[in-house]
Structure 1
Amino acid sequence: MDSMLLLHLMSVLFPHQTRAIYVDHQLQNMSVAWGQLVQQQAAALNLPCILQKVSVATGNLEQQARQARYQAYRQHLQPGEILVLAHHQQDQAETLLLRLLSGAGVNGLAAMQQLDIREDMTIWRPFLQLSRAQIEQWAAQLGLDYVTDPTNHDTHYDRAWCREQLWPVLESRFPKMQAAIARSSMLMQDAASILNEVLQQDWRHCATEHELDLTRLGQLSSARQRQLLSDWIKGREQYRPSYDMVQRLQNEVILAKPDAQASLHIHPYYYVRYQKKLYRLSREVLYAERLVHIEEVVFQHYQLQQSIRVASGEFRIINQEVGLSASLLGQELKLLRRRGGEKIHLYGRVGHWPLKKAVQEAQILPWLRHTIQILVVDNVMLGVFSPKGFWLAQSEYVVQGGWQPSLISDCIFHRSFSNGE
């Protein structure tokens, strides 16, 4: 009823800008017939209509159906378009109540916004301040044809249970509770907006998308730490992690002993602490040493301005104040995979010292160290490719105005480097 009323009003207000989409979850025997009714009503209003079937994954049916529905919306939304939904005041109050019972925080209790601007879409809910009684009266005056989904009365589902059983009990005691709860959601939206301003300050102070400074995090209050961690774990996902998961990250990783190899898997990422920072890593990055094959020996030929890709990233061959002799350009050079125990005489430093020590001093992250390769000609070490750049070694090939590989971008793990491309 509310969706059909919205369809009619949009045809009046925006007759040349409105398209209808009917999402068929294929969960009801009558779902195809309902789609035909929507299509007929849209045709009568001269509106284009899309019938989109979706498959609902197993698990929480209400949540999975919602995800499938929004994925269908994203599929058909064009840049600059707005998704208009018919959620009303009772929907808002039910959402807040159900989230309260699930232990949601301020953001969850803010429920639905009338104008919801997201990264991937903008949603407008023009009925959010209208009661169901007002919508019923309006639909009756217009004589709208609509169907009622029987699952709306199936108390197996949380929202239907709330509407059918809990709602009448509460409303008998608090007749104006629907408007009161909806008003609470608006107040929560104000609070959430203020908290978000603080959160954005903390983001800028402590975090990037995949890295969090634990020293700076520790300067915040406990409440702000939890809020930042929750939002940081959420990343680009729609929902924040549970309170328990945030607590686990704090207790098992952040507060673990300094010498512990602390990590926590929160799908799909791994959260790993190294020194005073917390990292969010994909499985491909954390286990790249197992997943990406790097040859023991790779033969390469270099030319000036050439871009080369090695295990530790992409480099360009350029002239610098000090570098390698031009006589090496075009020659066959060897890239050796680091095996352990190597020593290097870094240009500008006194004496040889273990490559391992240079790696530690450069604070190269443990899960990236397997990408280190050594550039050699005639058993003479020319330098080392690392995720932090190329380290020039002292040798008879070092000259003024010579060439060096210059780092362009960090490690690329989605392909094999066995051919040294």
Structure 2
Amino acid sequence: MKEGDKPSPGSDWPTDLSGPVTALPDHSRVWIAFSGGLDSTLLLRVAAACHGSVTALHINHQLQPDHEQTEQFCRAVCQALGVRLVIERVDVPVGCSASGGLEQAARDARYRVFRSHLQAGDLLLMAHHADDQAETVLFRLLRGSGVDGLSGMPAYRPLGEGSLFRPWLDISRERLEQVAADIGLDWIEDASNRSEVHDRNYLRHSVMPGLKQRWPELLKRMSRSAGACADSARLNRRLAELRWQECGDGQGRIRLDRFRQLDEMEQRNLIRWWIENNGWPVPSMASWRQVLAELLDAADDRAPELRGEGFTLRRYRGRLYLVPEVTVPGRPAELRPGQPLRWGAWTLRLEPMEDGASPETPVLPIRVSTRQGGERVKPSPGRPSRALKTWLQEQGVPPWERARLPLVYEGAPGAGELVAIGNLWCSERYSGSAPAAGWRLVVEREFD
């Protein structure tokens, strides 16, 4: 460096640490997930040196007796660095019985906070390193994960409206400890990290040291294997997208006649992709072959299904449906102008004929309810009414959807006229360019 030249950002730090932190993906604002531990404290200091303006985000799970001291330590570190700090306290149910137990519940709470803070263009840095990656791959292997799980943690992925980036996945924990010792770094050790009650800690303290001693190149080897699995997972997703183009019916469903032409591996791959692409976790199946056989081969009068977390996979009239779990109100509700009504997966609202104008015709009472039995509909003026049950069957509405469709009535309870059926049909009194009632009824479905 010539006399008078300004040092490059982060030049006081080893290049293997500062390089990945300096060369970040495109972003408008940098956040640091800051726990107060060695890894995140070191990352915060390097990021602050490389970028100047960063924001630390500390999440206090309130699970450890010393959580107040940890929070105060984070405040002190950020104050000394001149870094803005955001602290969020979350409540994690100690007796949590959810899948993954307390660890998973704490992680879910943590990521909810991350998503709530990240805006478009924001980048959240996390201090996961090569040892964390190896532990993740081994942990998922023991759980029976496929190539998606064995690909480990991605270095970069979307998160909420922003993105998450792990710059140190190729750096070992030993290297971070060495740098921390060289500079005399202070950090807070989470007491729970020493407890081998948790599976990950058992792997970290009782399994990984022996593996690394036996195979000194373990971290690099596992990283290569994780990369190969990530490549396979990308190919699987690409294949599923191609098969979706062949088997999808254009309305978010799978045509069984096309689906049956795929071999079993492609069928399973497409179903897994379909579930994941809609944001749900893929159920752990002991035998996908049996599940697929039930969906494909059950008699026409049967109703086979696969239940997952937040959804159900169903079959009806030659189609497979991915049905979200939704809850509809238990009693009728009134729909008023200017007050959208949420009804399960539907949103209903009344709009005047012209934007900003109030119709001359007053609004008659409008109420929304579900089927009670015996309803009749008159879909065409001048023609007799028909049983709603028969009409829904003719429209191909699946049985599970008929029970939660919002039915819209005009008039007093008990004497009203059915004027709309979900987003399937609406009377000319409330539809078209000039609704006779003076108001237009808009019914939108979330998943369409």
Partner amino acid, structure 1, of 2:393: Q
- Separation (CA, whole Å) in 2 of partners of 1:161 and 1:72: 27
- Separation (CA, whole Å) in 1 of partners of 2:377 and 2:174: 80
Q: What's 2:18 paired with?
A: none
Matching of residues 211-290 of structure 1 within 5 Å: 211-234=253-276, 236-237=278-279, 239-244=281-286, 249-284=291-326
Q: What's 1:361 paired with?
A: 394
Number of equivalent positions? 377
Q: What's 1:143 paired with?
A: 184
CA RMSD for the aligned pairs? Answer: 4.3
Q: What's 2:241 paired with?
A: 200
* Alignment partner of 2:330 out of 280, 287, 291: 291
Is this contact kept in 2: 1:314–1:411, CA < 8 A? no
- Separation (CA, whole Å) in 1 of partners of 2:197 and 2:435: 75
CA positional deviation for 1:188? 1.6
Partner amino acid, structure 1, of 2:49: V
- Separation (CA, whole Å) in 1 of partners of 2:308 and 2:169: 35
Q: What's 2:356 paired with?
A: none
Task: Say which is worse superposed, 25-34 or 69-78, in terms of deviation.
Answer: 69-78
Matching of residues 99-118 of structure 1 within 5 Å: 99-118=140-159
CA positional deviation for 1:91? 0.4
Partner amino acid, structure 2, of 1:278: L
* Alignment partner of 1:63 out of 81, 84, 104: 104
Task: Say which is worse superposed, 193-202 or 157-166, in terms of deviation.
Answer: 193-202
- Separation (CA, whole Å) in 1 of partners of 2:132 and 2:236: 25
Partner amino acid, structure 1, of 2:396: Q
The C-alpha deviation readout for 1:215-234, integer Å capped at 9, x for no partner, is: 33323332222122223334
Is this contact kept in 1: 2:121–2:161, CA < 8 A? no
Q: Does 1:85 align with 2:118?
A: no
Q: What's 1:301 paired with?
A: none
Q: Does 1:164 align with 2:200?
A: no
Matching of residues 366-381 of structure 1 within 5 Å: 366=399, 367-368=401-402
Q: What's 2:44 paired with?
A: 7
- Separation (CA, whole Å) in 1 of partners of 2:208 and 2:56: 31
Return the TM-score normalized by structure 1: 0.73
Is this contact kept in 2: 1:317–1:403, CA < 8 A? no
Is this contact kept in 2: 1:314–1:407, CA < 8 A? yes
The C-alpha deviation readout for 1:113-169, integer Å capped at 9, x for no partner, is: 112234543111111111112111211222211122232221111111101111122
Partner amino acid, structure 2, of 1:103: G
* Alignment partner of 2:113 out of 62, 72, 80: 72
Is this contact kept in 1: 2:130–2:173, CA < 8 A? yes
User: SS of 2:122's equivalent?
Assistant: coil
- Separation (CA, whole Å) in 2 of partners of 1:213 and 1:338: 32
Against the structure 1 CA distance between its residues 247 and 69, is the aligned structure 2 distance closer, same or farther, given a 3 Å change threshold? farther
User: SS of 2:171's equivalent?
Assistant: coil
Is this contact kept in 2: 1:84–1:124, CA < 8 A? yes
Q: Does 1:53 align with 2:89?
A: yes
Q: What's 1:155 paired with?
A: 196
* Alignment partner of 2:59 out of 19, 23, 41: 23
Against the structure 1 CA distance between its residues 246 and 120, is the aligned structure 2 distance closer, same or farther, given a 3 Å change threshold? farther
User: SS of 1:5's equivalent?
Assistant: helix
User: SS of 1:156's equivalent?
Assistant: coil
CA positional deviation for 1:3? 1.1
- Separation (CA, whole Å) in 2 of partners of 1:85 and 1:334: 52
Is this contact kept in 2: 1:383–1:390, CA < 8 A? no
CA positional deviation for 1:18? 0.6
Is this contact kept in 1: 2:281–2:309, CA < 8 A? no
CA positional deviation for 1:100? 0.6
Return the TM-score normalized by structure 2: 0.69
User: SS of 2:321's equivalent?
Assistant: strand
Partner amino acid, structure 1, of 2:395: A
Partner amino acid, structure 1, of 2:88: Q
Q: State the structure with more CA Rg.
A: 1
CA positional deviation for 1:20? 1.0
Against the structure 1 CA distance between its residues 291 and 354, is the aligned structure 2 distance closer, same or farther, given a 3 Å change threshold? closer
- Separation (CA, whole Å) in 2 of partners of 1:341 and 1:389: 15
The C-alpha deviation readout for 1:7-33, integer Å capped at 9, x for no partner, is: 110111011x31112222112122221
- Separation (CA, whole Å) in 1 of partners of 2:284 and 2:303: 24
CA positional deviation for 1:75? 2.9
CA positional deviation for 1:361? 3.1
* Alignment partner of 2:137 out of 87, 91, 96: 96
The C-alpha deviation readout for 1:155-203, integer Å capped at 9, x for no partner, is: 1111111011111222232221111101211222222222222222334
The C-alpha deviation readout for 1:224-267, integer Å capped at 9, x for no partner, is: 22122223334554643213486675354444221113344433
Against the structure 1 CA distance between its residues 36 and 208, is the aligned structure 2 distance closer, same or farther, given a 3 Å change threshold? farther
- Separation (CA, whole Å) in 2 of partners of 1:12 and 1:260: 64
Is this contact kept in 1: 2:64–2:191, CA < 8 A? no
- Separation (CA, whole Å) in 1 of partners of 2:365 and 2:84: 64
- Separation (CA, whole Å) in 1 of partners of 2:172 and 2:104: 24
Q: Does 1:40 align with 2:80?
A: no
The C-alpha deviation readout for 1:264-323, integer Å capped at 9, x for no partner, is: 4433333332211233334546xx5x935499xxxxxxxxxxxx99x99779999xxxxx
- Separation (CA, whole Å) in 2 of partners of 1:333 and 1:165: 69
- Separation (CA, whole Å) in 1 of partners of 2:92 and 2:366: 53
Is this contact kept in 2: 1:316–1:406, CA < 8 A? yes
Higher relative contact order (CA 8 A, sep 6+): 1
